[in-house]
C-alpha cells in the first residue's frame, strides 16, 4: 500500500472560488482559463468534489419567469450575503443574466454550506427509526436486498438495521454494527446514509466496504466505485471525501499524556487515507478488504500477530501465541473452505510451529 495521505481542510476563500467556478462550468459559460483554474483547485482540494456532486443535483431552469426581476433579485441577495461576493467582485464584470442566475444559486449554497452537513446528519437522522434488523451469527455471511434495491453483503457477527419505509423518507438510512459491503442503488432524491458507532457515511451512488465492529479500535471504509463522504460522529462538521480505490482508517485511542483538570481521559482520533492495491495469488487479483464477500480470506505479507484477529473472526476461535518468534512469521495466502485445522497445517508448511485446539475452540500456538 502507498504511504498515508494528508487530509487537507478546504479554506473558505478557495471554497467560494471552487463553487463559483463549478457553477460557471455547469452553466456552460466557463472560459479555458477558468476551467484550468478549477482543475488545479480540485487537484489541490479533492474533498471539494462534494460541491460538484451537490451542484449537479440542482435543476436549473432554462428561463426565469418574466415577472421576476433578476437584477433586483441579485441586488437583494448581495445585500444579504455580501461577504460571499468579495472575491467575485475582483473578477470580470457580470455580463449575462444566466451567469447572475447561476451565481445567485451558488452563493445561496455557499451561505448554508457551513451548516448543511451538520443539519443533514443530525436533524434528519434524529427522526430515523429502524423497523427491520438483519443479524449474521458466527461463520455466517449473507446478502440482503434493501427496499430501494441496494445490495448489502453482511459479514459474520454483524448486524444491519433499516426502515422498511425508507423510500418514503427524505433519506435512506441504515445502521451497521460489524462489517458490510454496500452496492447502493442510485437515487439522487433520497441520499443513502450509513450510521456506525464512530463514523457517518453519505453515499452518492457507489460501492464500498465498511468495517465497524463494536469494540474494535479501528474503523475502516474502503471505496471501490463512486464517491462517498464521511464524517466523524465526534466532529460532524469535518467532511472527508474518498475516491475509488481509497481506504480511510480511523484509529481511536486513549491519550497517555496529562489530562485536563477533570481527569477525564482524552480520546485521540488518528485518520489515515491509503490507496488499496490488488493482491495477486495464483495469477488472480484480489482486494484484501473485500475478498470476504467471495468467501475468501486474503492476506499478504502479514505477521502471525496481525493475522490473529482476522483468523479469530473468520473461524470463530480464540488464538493464543506463546512463542514470540512465531508472532513475527510473515504469511501470504488465501483461505476459502478450509477448517481452522487445515488452515494452520497449510501455514505450517511455510513456517514451522506447533498448535493445539481444545474443545472450547481455543487455539494455542507454540
Q: Which residues contact 121 (CB under 8 A, 6 or more apart)?
A: 193, 200, 202, 231, 236
Which tens digits make up the pLDDT trace of 151-193? 999 999 999 999 999 988 888 999 999 999 999 998 877 889 9
Pairing of strands 246-254, 267-275: antiparallel
pLDDT at 73 over 80: no
d(CA 117, CA 191) in angstroms, rounded, equals 13
Which tens digits make up the pLDDT trace of 269-321? 888 999 998 888 888 889 999 999 999 999 989 999 999 999 999 999 999 99
User: For residue 25, what pLDDT band results from cuts at 50, 70 and 90?
Assistant: confident
Please give the average per-residue pLDDT across 196-218, as a whole number. Answer: 89
Closest CA to 152 of 130, 131, 136: 136
d(CA 340, CA 320) in angstroms, rounded, equals 14
Are 122 and 155 contacting, i.e. CB atoms less than 8 angstroms apart? no
DSSP letters along 30-99, please? --HHHHHHHHHHHHH-GGGHHHHHHHHTS---SS--TTS-HHHHHHHHHHHSGGGGHHHHTSPPP--HHH
Domains of the chain as residue ranges with CATH: 12-122 (no CATH), 129-275 (2.60.120.1440), 279-365 (3.55.50.30)
Mapping DSSP to helix (H, G, I), strand (E, B) and coil, where does residue 142 land? Answer: strand
Q: Is 298 exposed, middle or buried (0-12, 13-18, 19+ CB in 10 A)?
A: buried
Please give the average per-residue pLDDT across 60-87, as a whole number. Answer: 46
Beta bridge pairs of residue 174: 162, 194
User: For residue 53, what pLDDT band results from cuts at 50, 70 and 90?
Assistant: low
pTM, two decimals, is 0.66
Are 64 and 101 contacting, i.e. CB atoms less than 8 angstroms apart? yes
Q: Is 107 exposed, middle or buried (0-12, 13-18, 19+ CB in 10 A)?
A: buried
d(CA 320, CA 366) in angstroms, rounded, equals 9
pLDDT at 55 (0 to 100): 63
Q: Which residues contact 251 (CB under 8 A, 6 or more apart)?
A: 217, 218, 269, 270, 271, 272
Please give the average per-residue pLDDT across 99-126, as a whole number. Answer: 46
**For residue 13, how far is the Cα from the chain centroid?**
26
Residue by residue, what is the 3-state secondary structure of 98-131? Answer: HHHHHHHHHHHHHHHHHHHHHHHHHCCHHHCCCC
Take residue 139 and report the three cell numbers written for it: 461463520
Take residue 99 and report the three cell numbers written for it: 451567469
Are 28 and 60 contacting, i.e. CB atoms less than 8 angstroms apart? no
Are 155 and 178 contacting, i.e. CB atoms less than 8 angstroms apart? yes
User: For residue 38, what pLDDT band results from cuts at 50, 70 and 90?
Assistant: confident
Are 241 and 226 contacting, i.e. CB atoms less than 8 angstroms apart? no
Amino acid at each position: 500500500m502507498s504511504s498515508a495521505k494528508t487530509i487537507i481542510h478546504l479554506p473558505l476563500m478557495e471554497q467560494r472560488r471552487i463553487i463559483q467556478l463549478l457553477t460557471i462550468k455547469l452553466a456552460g459559460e466557463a472560459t479555458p482559463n477558468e476551467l484550468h483554474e478549477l482543475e488545479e483547485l480540485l487537484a489541490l482540494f479533492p474533498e471539494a468534489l462534494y460541491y460538484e456532486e451537490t451542484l449537479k443535483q440542482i435543476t436549473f431552469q432554462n428561463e426565469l419567469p418574466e415577472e421576476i426581476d433578476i437584477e433586483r433579485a441579485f441586488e437583494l441577495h448581495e445585500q444579504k450575503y455580501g461577504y460571499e461576493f468579495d472575491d467575485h467582485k475582483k473578477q470580470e464584470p457580470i455580463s449575462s443574466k444566466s451567469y447572475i442566475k447561476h451565481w445567485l444559486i451558488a452563493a445561496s449554497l455557499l451561505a448554508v454550506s457551513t451548516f448543511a452537513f451538520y443539519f443533514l446528519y443530525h436533524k434528519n437522522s434524529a427522526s430515523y427509526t429502524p423497523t427491520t434488523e438483519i443479524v449474521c451469527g458466527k461463520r455466517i455471511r449473507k446478502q440482503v436486498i434493501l427496499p430501494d434495491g441496494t445490495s448489502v453483503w453482511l459479514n459474520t457477527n454483524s448486524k444491519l438495521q433499516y426502515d422498511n419505509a425508507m423510500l418514503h423518507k427524505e433519506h435512506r438510512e441504515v445502521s451497521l454494527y460489524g462489517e458490510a459491503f454496500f452496492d447502493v442503488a442510485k437515487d439522487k432524491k433520497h441520499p443513502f446514509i450509513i450510521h456506525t458507532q464512530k463514523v457517518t457515511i453519505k453515499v452518492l451512488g457507489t460501492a464500498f466496504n465498511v468495517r465497524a465492529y463494536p469494540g474494535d479500535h479501528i474503523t475502516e471504509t474502503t471505496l471501490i466505485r463512486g464517491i462517498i463522504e464521511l464524517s466523524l460522529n465526534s466532529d460532524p462538521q469535518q467532511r472527508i471525501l474518498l475516491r475509488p480505490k481509497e481506504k480511510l482508517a480511523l484509529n481511536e485511542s486513549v491519550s497517555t499524556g496529562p489530562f485536563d483538570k477533570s481527569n477525564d481521559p482524552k480520546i485521540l482520533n488518528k485518520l489515515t487515507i491509503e490507496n488499496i492495491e490488488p493482491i495477486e495469488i495464483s495469477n488472480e487479483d484480489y482486494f484484501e478488504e473485500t475478498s470476504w464477500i467471495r468467501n475468501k480470506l486474503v492476506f499478504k505479507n502479514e505477521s502471525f500477530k496481525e493475522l490473529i484477529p482476522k483468523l479469530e473472526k473468520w473461524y470463530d476461535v480464540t488464538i493464543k501465541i506463546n512463542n514470540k518468534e512465531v508472532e513475527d512469521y510473515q504469511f501470504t495466502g488465501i483461505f476459502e473452505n478450509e477448517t481452522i485445522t487445515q488452515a494452520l497445517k497449510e501455514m505450517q508448511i511455510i513456517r514451522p510451529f506447533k498448535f493445539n485446539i481444545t474443545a472450547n475452540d481455543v487455539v494455542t500456538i507454540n
